[in-house]
Amino acid sequence: MKITSKIIVASMVIAVLISLSAILVPLPSTSALTQPSSFAMSNFTPSSNPAPNIGSYTCSKTNSCPMGIADYGVNHKTDYTYYASVFESWANFTKLSIASPSAISIQQNLVSFNTTSGKTVGEYWPQNVPFVTQDGSTYTINEVDNIWNFSYSSICENYPTNNDGCMVDMAGNLLGQCSSFGGAPEYYYCESSQQFSTTLPFEIFMNTTIFVMPSGSYAGHAAVEFGIWVYHKGKLVNGEWYDLVAWSGKTSLTPVIKVGGMNPLGLYNDAETVLCGPGGGSRATITAIKATLSEAYMAPGSSTLITIPHAWSAGTDTAETVLGVHMTASSETGIASSGADNNKQLW
């Protein structure tokens, strides 16, 4: 289904991308990096025990899951695959009450494919994450991203003997907007220097774009750019492209986001927009919620947004979960309500 984004930013993706990707900031030494705080966690961990079959694992009032919408490239018993250069997600809240620790992450989890790092072509896990903290009726949103290496059967187990599954050849914070960034050798993270506060109702828009750098010091390198924008009652509160990350080495391939199948790590190549705990494999409890979630993508070389063709109610790639969110759907939009976690095909 073709759709037109109601957000002006979406229609400007290509123009903004070209202008921002030319703004390059040198990567500082490791000693210059600051560590993320213990509360605003920057480590959104891959699942260590992915489900063997979509829809076969239990999400319930006692068994928490990453809840929202996820396109696995699976429609009942039929598999499919597609590729994208842009993914956009919307999370629109009219009610939200978060119990201890009073914070959740909204994870836009994707899998990059055909991505060259040095002389190796692999798959990676870019995560675009609004980190939402509640204080009474005020919600504060921080911008955080992660990238993990899904190109091998394990994540960085033998460093520095070899770099398989590691994240050591990345140039991050190329927009200069990260208050802290790093994470090597296990993963890459950026915490934006910006944070936005709002009240209900509010909407969060996420955009992740993968491309080949057209100019600058990293011209010809595969790159990914992350953006988050926050709206209150349809009016922009604030937002930005907050991080641009380039892989090492020039590429002759076109990097893409892949939906369908599994990657070498054994996780699904899916597109998730899911409500989760605040990082580090944690669980959050939501005591009240009314929200809608939606996803759309642009195919490589296209500027037309297409709604994801099918969606399931629970993600599997991330270890963070929430309890108290029940998913239904209407018109290719996920509807989050208070209730027991559930795992089903929504459309």
Question: What are φ and ψ of residue 187, in 5° steps?
Answer: -160, 175
pLDDT in tens, 261-288: 999 999 999 999 999 999 999 999 999 9
Structure tokens at 197: 């506060």
Give the separation between CA 164 and CA 184, rounded to whole angstroms: 13
pLDDT at 50: 56
User: 192 and 172 in contact (C-beta within 8 Å)?
Assistant: no
**pLDDT at residue 345 above 90?**
yes
Average pLDDT estimate for 167-179: 95
- The confidence band for 43, taking pLDDT boundaries of 50, 70 and 90, is confident
Which is more confidently placed, 45 or 298? 298
Average pLDDT estimate for 122-150: 97
**pLDDT at residue 121 above 50?**
yes
Share of the chain above pLDDT 70, in %: 85
**What is the DSSP code (8-state) at residue 51?**
-
pLDDT in tens, 198-223: 999 999 999 999 999 999 999 999 99
User: 126 and 207 in contact (C-beta within 8 Å)?
Assistant: no
Query: What is the pTM assigned to this prediction?
Result: 0.88
